[in-house]
Amino acid sequence: MGYLNNQVVTVDAILTKKGREQMAKNDGSFQITQFSLADDEIDYTLYNPSHPSGSNFYGEAIDNMPLLEAFPNETQIMKYQLTTLPRGTAKLPVLDLGYSAITLKQGASLAITPQTLSYLGNDQAFESSGYSATISDVRLLGTYSGIGINTTAAVNANTNATVTIGTNVSKTIIGTQINLRATTVNTLFGTNTTLSSTLTVVGLDSGARLTIPLTITKTS
């Protein structure tokens, strides 16, 4: 990883690990249909309306911040996607999963129905495009699926959602409800009594994002 020259306009485009996985399948499922923008690297507290040189220099420190090269770990980039909200919006939308952390025993099941708070003037709402949910290690789950959204992207994401390829074990599904069932495979635990992962949910309309820990406990 390195820095880009911020004195010139540079477009640095690469495929993430997930993108490379899709392309390697060579089955036509790799199709780029949308893009989004994010400002992960920007520290807006550097905006200085008291700059002695006037308004043209209020954002000088932000303009001169170093920019990182694109890197392929999709779980560590684009965390703060830009979104369009109605003029006058006073609160940014946030996600509520009903859990701050999840612990499941082997074979136990759980259904999660995300909700978006403070979105489009509603205290509580469901997003019409649904939610994407990414687990960092899908081997911990025997069942991992999303329901409620029937777009092509959702169907493709939910197909074979628990199948791993090589060492890439993160999986993303799309839906208005996320269904989980903990693995019953004892050999994954080795000498451990618990296995840990993370679940990251993103509202596909609002861009709101939430990551919580997921723990599977061994029962036998």
Domains of the chain listed by start with CATH number? 1-82 (no CATH), 94-217 (2.60.40.1080)
pLDDT higher than threshold 70 for residue 1: no
* Distance from C-alpha of 106 to C-alpha of 183, rounded to nearest angstrom: 6
19-38: average pLDDT: 80
Report the alpha-carbon distance of residue 207 to residue 22 in Å, rounded. Answer: 23
Q: What is the mean pLDDT of residues 14-31?
A: 81
Residue 97 scores a pLDDT above 80: yes
Pairing relationship of beta strands 122-125 and 194-203 according to DSSP bridges: unpaired
| Cα of 217 vs its chain's centroid, Å | 25
pTM score over 0.85? no
* Residue 180 vs residues 43, 117, 126, 162: alpha-carbon distances, Å: 36, 23, 20, 10
User: Which pLDDT does position 113 carry in this prediction?
Assistant: 96
Q: What is the pLDDT of residue 167?
A: 59
Residue 168 is predicted with a pLDDT of: 58
| pLDDT surpasses 80 at 186 | yes
Given this model, what pLDDT does residue 199 score?
95
The better pLDDT of the pair 75, 165 is held by: 75
Place of tokens 């923008």: 37
Q: Which of 11-25, 41-55, 70-84, 179-193 has the weakest average pLDDT? A: 70-84
As a whole number, mean pLDDT of residues 194-203 equals 94
The pLDDT-based confidence of 166 (bands split at 50, 70, 90) is low
Confidence band of 157 (pLDDT split at 50, 70, 90): confident
Rounded to whole angstroms, the Cα distance separating 220 from 214 reads 19
Strand, helix or coil for residue 82? coil
For residue 114, what pLDDT is reported? Answer: 95
What is the pLDDT confidence band of residue 207, given thresholds at 50, 70 and 90?
Answer: confident
Question: In this predicted structure, which of 49-53, 117-121, 140-144, 185-189 has the lowest mean pLDDT?
Answer: 117-121
Interval 74-99 mean pLDDT: 81
Can you give the pLDDT at residue 165?
59
| Mean pLDDT for the stretch of residues 88-102 | 90
Q: How far apart are CA 178 and CA 163, in angstroms?
A: 17
Taking residue 160's Cβ as centre, other Cβ atoms within 10 Å add up to: 10
Q: What is the three-class DSSP state of 47?
A: coil
Percent of the chain with pLDDT over 90: 44
